[in-house]
C-alpha cells in the first residue's frame, strides 16, 4: 500500500502533576525532515523522539510539538518530629522553672503546638522529569501509530487517483498509436507527391538520393519507440504502486521519463490529431506528477 506524506495526529496524557498534548503534522518533502518542539528541561526526550520518528518513516517534512502543563501540585501537611520534640522540651523547661517559683501555667493545647512555626510542614507531590520522560516515551508509539494510519488512509486515496491517471495515459497512448497509423498512409502519399514535385522541377537530381532524404524524414517522424516506452513506463509504475511505499522517489523518476516521451511525441507529431493527443498526455502526466510528489 502506498503511504502519503500528508498526515496529522494529536494525543493527550497526564502523569502526576503534569498534563500534556502532542501535535504531529506531515507534508511532502524530498527526504525526511524532522522539526521538533519539545521542552528542553526534560532531559533526553528530544533524542528519543527523533530516533523513534526516524525508524517509523522514510520521507516527509514532519513537525512535532509537545506542550506540557504543570497542574497545581497536590499538597499535604506533615508533622516535623524534630521540631515538635524541641518545642515540647522547651515547654517542659518553662513549666519546671515556673513550678519552682510557685507560678502555675495554663496547659498548652495541641492546636497551639501545631500552630507553632516549624511543627507542620507542606509536602508537595509533583513528580520529577525522569518519570515524566518515561511516561512520554511510553505514549509516543501510540502517537506515531495514529499518524501513520492517517498517512495510510491518505495513501489509499492517492493510489486510486494514480491508477486512474495511469489508465488515462495508457488510453491516450493507444489513441496515439491509432493516430500514428492513420498518419502513416497520409505521410506516404505526401512523400510521393513531394518526390514527384522535386523531380519535375529539378534538373539532374538523383532520384535515389531524394528518396533517401525523404525516407530519413519518415524515420525521424516515426513515434513507435516513444509509444513502446510509454507502455513500458505505465507497466513499471503499476508495479511500483502494487509494491507500496517507499516508492515516491522511483515514481518521481518515472514521471520525468513519461514527460520526456510525451515531449518527443509532440515534436514528431506532424499531424493535428497526434499533436492534440500528445498535449493531452502532457496534461495528465503533469497532474500525476503533482500527486506523486506526495508519495512516501
CA–chain centroid gap for 70, Å, is: 31
The CATH class for the domain spanning 7-72+128-152 reads: alpha beta
Helix H segments across the chain? 45-56, 81-100, 110-115, 129-201, 207-220, 224-243, 248-268, 272-292
CA distance linking residue 291 with residue 288, whole number of Å: 5
Contact 137, 45 (CB under 8 A): yes
CA distance linking residue 37 with residue 104, whole number of Å: 69
Which residue reads 526516524 in cell numbers? Answer: 54
Task: Give tens-digit pLDDT for 131-180.
Answer: 999 999 999 999 999 999 999 999 999 999 999 999 999 999 999 999 98
Segments of the chain assigned to CATH 3.30.230: 7-72+128-152
CA–chain centroid gap for 248, Å, is: 11
Count of residues in the chain: 296
What residues of the chain score a pLDDT lower than 50? 123-126
Task: Please give the pLDDT value at position 125.
Answer: 47
DSSP state of 244: -
The dotted CATH code for 153-292 is: 1.20.140
Task: Please give the pLDDT value at position 276.
Answer: 95
Contacts 24+ apart (CB under 8 A), 6-11: 6/151, 6/154, 6/294, 7/60, 7/147, 7/148, 7/150, 7/151, 7/154, 8/147, 8/150, 9/143, 9/144, 9/146, 9/147, 9/150, 11/139, 11/142, 11/143, 11/146
Task: Please give the pLDDT value at position 66.
Answer: 97
3-state SS track over 132-195? HHHHHHHHHHHHHHHHHHHHHHHHHHHHHHHHHHHHHHHHHHHHHHHHHHHHHHHHHHHHHHHH
- Cα Rg, the chain, nearest whole Å: 41
Percentage of the chain exceeding pLDDT 70: 82
Task: Please give the pLDDT value at position 112.
Answer: 77
Cβ-based neighbours of 82, under 8 Å, separated by 6 or more: none
Mean pLDDT of the chain: 86
pTM of the full predicted structure? 0.68
In DSSP notation, 32-46 reads: EEEEEE--TTSTTHH
The cell for 255 is: 514521471
Segments of the chain assigned to CATH 1.20.140: 153-292
Task: Please give the pLDDT value at position 290.
Answer: 95
First to last CA, the chain: 11
Amino acid at each position: 500500500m502506498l503511504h502519503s506524506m500528508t498526515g496529522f495526529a494529536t494525543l493527550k496524557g497526564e502523569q502526576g502533576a503534569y498534563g500534556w498534548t502532542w501535535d504531529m503534522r506531515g507534508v511532502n518533502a524530498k527526504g525526511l525532515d524532522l522539526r521538533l518542539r519539545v521542552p528542553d528541561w526534560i532531559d533526553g526526550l528530544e533524542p528519543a523522539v527523533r530516533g523513534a520518528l526516524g525508524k517509523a518513516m522514510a520521507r516527509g517534512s514532519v513537525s512535532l510539538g509537545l506542550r506540557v502543563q504543570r497542574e497545581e501540585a497536590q499538597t499535604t501537611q506533615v508533622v516535623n518530629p524534630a521540631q515538635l520534640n524541641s518545642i515540647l522540651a522547651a515547654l517542659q523547661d518553662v513549666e519546671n522553672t515556673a513550678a519552682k517559683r510557685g507560678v502555675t501555667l495554663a496547659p498548652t493545647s495541641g492546636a497551639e503546638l501545631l500552630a507553632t512555626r516549624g511543627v507542620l510542614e507542606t509536602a508537595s507531590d509533583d513528580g520529577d522529569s525522569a518519570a515524566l520522560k518515561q511516561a512520554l516515551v511510553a505514549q509516543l508509539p501510540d502517537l506515531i501509530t495514529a499518524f501513520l494510519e492517517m498517512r495510510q488512509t491518505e495513501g489509499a486515496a492517492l493510489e486510486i487517483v494514480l491508477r486512474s491517471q495511469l489508465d488515462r495515459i495508457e488510453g491516450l497512448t493507444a489513441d496515439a498509436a491509432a493516430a500514428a497509423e492513420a498518419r502513416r498512409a497520409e505521410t506516404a502519399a505526401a512523400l510521393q507527391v513531394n518526390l514527384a514535385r522535386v523531380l519535375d522541377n529539378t534538373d539532374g537530381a538523383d532520384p535515389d538520393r531524394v528518396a533517401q532524404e525523404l525516407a530519413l524524414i519518415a524515420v525521424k517522424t516515426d513515434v513507435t519507440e516513444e509509444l513502446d516506452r510509454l507502455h513500458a513506463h505505465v507497466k513499471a509504475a503499476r508495479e511500483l504502486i502494487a509494491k507500496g511505499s517507499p516508492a515516491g522517489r522511483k515514481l518521481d523518476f518515472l514521471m520525468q521519463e513519461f514527460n520526456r516521451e510525451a515531449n518527443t511525441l509532440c515534436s514528431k507529431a506532424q499531424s493535428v490529431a497526434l499533436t492534440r493527443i500528445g498535449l493531452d498526455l502532457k496534461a495528465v502526466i503533469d497532474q500525476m506528477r503533482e500527486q506523486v510528489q506526495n508519495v512516501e
